[in-house]
Structure 1
Amino acid sequence: MKKNIQVIYQDKDLAVCYKAAGVPVQTSKAGRQDMVSLLRNYFAERGDNTQVYVVHRLDQPVEGVMVFARNQDAAANLSRQSRERSMDKCYMALAEGIFQESSAVLEDYLLREGRSNTSRVVSQSTPGAKQAKLSYEVIEVWQPLQVYSGEAEHSLSRLQQEGRRIFSAYWRSQRENEVSLIQIKLETGRHHQIRVQMAHAGHPLVGDKKYNPNSSREYLPVALCAVKIAFCHPRDGRNMEFTV
């Protein structure tokens, strides 16, 4: 089935897109559409056969805003910004439970398990362990009654429009426990970092089949959205910021 792609901004150097939950950024599986092929098709349909370059990643179950380069110079520049953490990325998520601290920094060491495509928290001395650091802020706590009645939906729209797509189903799936709407900023970019660190902290993300043992059996994407990305334009250095 052909999928459409939502292009938020484009010029000769880059394209900013919305990635839907469930769509991989890039895959080697034959016949499976990913963001790279969708974006290439988007340009080809408009008579433009330029290449598309991946400069950062977003987990397949996660939705949100991404930037892709359209030439090698832009790819090198944007990749460097992402690698050096000068590319600002902000996420919103629904995490289970009530946080003891309204804001905090989480710092752990993660080890990636290739066979299972997972990561886990390990000690600093573990061979292959990499530092993982993020900060979070609790925006609001939704009680079961709020979740069930839909009051949380209005609250989310009032607080922040970004990321509302992924949260539309969760007040139907969470009827017994409190959930916290949180805003997250990454200081490192590790495999499944937000999902692993939040689960390790005792607040797994709603809908996360890999790291949340209480996740509903019905299909729901992980309640995590990259809501904002900001960077310097690779050609002229001007500040660029986009939200979804």
Structure 2
Amino acid sequence: MNPTACKTRPLCFFDPRWPVIYEDNHLLAVYKPSGLLVQGDRTGDVCLQDLGKRWLKERYHKPGNVFLAMVHRLDRPVAGVVLFARTSKAAARLSRQFRERSVDKQYLAVVGGSVSGQADRLIDHIERRDRLSRVVPAPTDGSQEARLRYTVLGRHSGKSLLKVSLETGRRHQIRIQLAHMGHPILGDLRYGAATPLPNRQIALLAYQLMVEHPTRGDRLLLASPIPLQWPWPDIGMSGGQAPPWDWRAFDSDIPLT
């Protein structure tokens, strides 16, 4: 079955620069800027899930609490498409797709250095110790296998643009594996980048997410716009349409209570 391409609608999320990628009775997919949490944590900082609940409450004049379930997450410095479930049935069915790895996840990454060749598959074993994850030379009792594929889309000024397809979903997997091959993601100081980006972003974008619709059964292709100031020339929307890369470009204008 051919996927249904879900283009950005003229529907905005609190701010005219902030696109809603897809919305129906069961799903809400929005663009997540860098620096914004997907789900609340001990910092107490605002998160996309809570903003989504408030947006739905205001949009549909809903009384009481709004149901909005997280079915996957992105790291705080990563931008891109995030999908939520608006019903418990959708949440259960989407969660199963993520567990069974039937979801197709595509990322764009700008890395340091000129990556040789045009495509490759990386298979590593990642072990987490004392809040730090690293590739280990052989499997251990505490390691997990991590697999991804990448294609080189371009090389420019000592950088490379990669399209990355995840086969497994380990924590920080893309960041760790690309750094281990000698090409850390731009701005990712935690995993070996030489210098930070201006607002602590990292040049990793959750670009496309393909899932099976939880009630209709067709395949949905959910695509993120390329944000402003993405560190690659001649890619993405024009400046008037592209959303800000950094969350702080929005949050001064969004009431958080």
Separation in structure 1 between the aligned mates of residue 199 and residue 66 of structure 2, nearest angstrom: 36
Separation in structure 2 between the aligned mates of residue 126 and residue 11 of structure 1, nearest angstrom: 44
Q: Following superposition of structure 1 onto structure 2, how do residues 189-228 of structure 1 map, counting pairs within 5 Å? A: 189-216=169-196, 218-228=198-208
Structure 1 unaligned regions, length at least 5: 144-177
Tell me what 2:75 maps to.
59
Cα distance, 1:220 vs structure 2? 3.7
Cα 1:11/1:103, change in 2 over 3 Å: same
Q: Which of 35, 39, 42 does residue 29 from structure 1 map onto?
A: 42
Q: Which of 193, 214, 221 does residue 241 from structure 1 map onto?
A: 221
Cα distance, 1:112 vs structure 2? 2.2
Cα distance, 1:98 vs structure 2? 1.1
Residue by residue over 1:200-231, the C-alpha shift from the partner in whole angstroms, topping out at 9 and shown as x without a partner, is 00000001021124123753410000111111
Identical pairs, percent = 40
Q: Following superposition of structure 1 onto structure 2, how do residues 179-194 of structure 1 map, counting pairs within 5 Å? A: 179-194=159-174
Task: State TM-score, norm by structure 2.
Answer: 0.76
Matched-pair contact (CA < 8 Å) for 1:95–1:203: yes
Cα 1:33/1:130, change in 2 over 3 Å: same
Tell me what 2:148 maps to.
134
Cα distance, 1:84 vs structure 2? 1.3
Q: Following superposition of structure 1 onto structure 2, how do residues 72-87 of structure 1 map, counting pairs within 5 Å? A: 72-87=88-103
The 3-state SS of whatever aligns with 2:102 is: coil
Separation in structure 1 between the aligned mates of residue 137 and residue 88 of structure 2, nearest angstrom: 38
Cα 1:238/1:181, change in 2 over 3 Å: same
Separation in structure 2 between the aligned mates of residue 31 and residue 112 of structure 1, nearest angstrom: 25
Task: State TM-score, norm by structure 1.
Answer: 0.80
Structure 2 unaligned regions, length at least 5: 1-13, 225-257
Cα 1:102/1:30, change in 2 over 3 Å: closer
Q: Which has the higher mean CA deviation after the structures are superposed, 3-12 or 192-201?
A: 3-12
Question: How many pairs align?
Answer: 206
Q: CA RMSD in A?
A: 1.7
Matched-pair contact (CA < 8 Å) for 2:151–2:162: yes
The 3-state SS of whatever aligns with 2:94 is: helix
Separation in structure 2 between the aligned mates of residue 55 and residue 6 of structure 1, nearest angstrom: 20
Residue by residue over 1:165-213, the C-alpha shift from the partner in whole angstroms, topping out at 9 and shown as x without a partner, is xxxxxxxxxxxxx000110000000000000000000000001021124
Matched-pair contact (CA < 8 Å) for 1:65–1:229: yes
Separation in structure 2 between the aligned mates of residue 204 and residue 230 of structure 1, nearest angstrom: 26
Tell me what 1:99 maps to.
115
The 3-state SS of whatever aligns with 1:38 is: helix
Residue type at the aligned position of 1:79: S
Matched-pair contact (CA < 8 Å) for 1:94–1:180: yes
Separation in structure 1 between the aligned mates of residue 24 and residue 198 of structure 2, nearest angstrom: 40
Residue type at the aligned position of 2:202: V
Separation in structure 2 between the aligned mates of residue 231 and residue 200 of structure 1, nearest angstrom: 29
Residue type at the aligned position of 1:189: G
Matched-pair contact (CA < 8 Å) for 2:112–2:193: no
The 3-state SS of whatever aligns with 1:45 is: helix
Matched-pair contact (CA < 8 Å) for 2:153–2:163: yes
Cα distance, 1:243 vs structure 2? 1.0
Higher helix fraction: Structure 1 or Structure 2? 1
Superposition misfits of 4+ residues, deviation over 4 angstroms: none
